[in-house]
């Protein structure tokens, strides 16, 4: 019964955690899901008393984390697009509507008329323009 309660708590925590993450971070975690799954299994095994198996699973999680790392050698355009996505907090697969919605939400607090800084508003506008321009290509 305690195990079922712990699983329910873990599921609720996972849903809240992923719901609160920004799109770019959520995409990073989803790219490396095997490592996170193996890490969770290692923790579960450690709690259940399987020391050596937990160590083996943790090592496998570490290996999976580094094997699923983004590859070096991305082009400057890809790096600039990734930076724009990070600034707006949208995934690479975001639609025009999602980009515009993220821009409006962030600009609501970053606009100089609302107490924000001019350079932050300019960064948001440049990020939006870059991502929308890429969609038109």
More confident: 4 or 73 = 4
Print the domain residue range for 130. Answer: 76-136
Residues 61 and 112 in one domain: no
Q: Are 82 and 124 part of one and the same domain? A: yes
pLDDT (0 to 100) of residue 73:
47
Both 82 and 100 in one domain: the answer is yes
Q: Of the residues 16, 50, 68, which one is the last residue of a structural domain?
A: 68
Q: Which residue has the higher pLDDT, 117 or 137?
A: 117
Does the structure show a pLDDT above 50 at 79?
yes
Number of folded domains in the chain?
3
pLDDT at 77 over 80: no
Determine what percent of the chain is predicted with pLDDT higher than 90: 2
pTM exceeds 0.85 for this model? no
- Looking at the fold, whether 24 and 38 belong to one and the same domain comes out as no
CA distance 76 to 95: 22
Q: What is the pLDDT of residues 13-69, one digit of tens each?
A: 766 666 666 666 666 667 777 887 788 888 888 888 878 888 888 888 888 888 876
Query: Cα separation of 95 and 73, whole Å?
Result: 26
Q: Are residues 56 and 90 in the same domain?
A: no
125 in the same domain as 104: yes
Which pLDDT score, from 0 to 100, does residue 18 have? 63
Q: What is the mean pLDDT of the chain?
A: 78
36 within 8 A of 29, measured Cβ to Cβ = yes
Q: Which of 19-23, 28-32, 77-81, 110-114 is least confident?
A: 19-23
8-state DSSP, 71: P
Residue 118 sits in the same domain as residue 82: yes
CA distance 73 to 50: 40
Both 84 and 120 in a single domain?
Answer: yes
Percent of the chain with pLDDT over 70: 77
Say whether both 48 and 6 belong to one domain: no
């Amino acid at each position: 019964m305690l195990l079922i309660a712990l699983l329910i708590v873990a599921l609720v925590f996972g849903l809240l955690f992923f719901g609160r993450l920004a799109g770019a971070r959520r995409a990073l975690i989803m790219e490396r899901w095997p490592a996170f799954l193996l890490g969770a299994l290692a923790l579960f095994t450690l709690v259940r008393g399987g020391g050596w198996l937990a160590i083996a699973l943790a090592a496998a999680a570490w290996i999976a984390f580094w094997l699923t790392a983004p590859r070096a050698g991305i082009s400057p355009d890809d790096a600039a697009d990734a930076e724009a996505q990070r600034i707006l907090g949208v995934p690479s697969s975001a639609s025009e509507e999602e980009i515009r919605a993220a821009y409006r939400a962030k600009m609501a607090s970053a606009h100089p008329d609302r107490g924000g800084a001019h350079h932050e508003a300019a960064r948001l506008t440049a990020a939006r323009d870059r991502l929308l321009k890429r969609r038109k290509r």
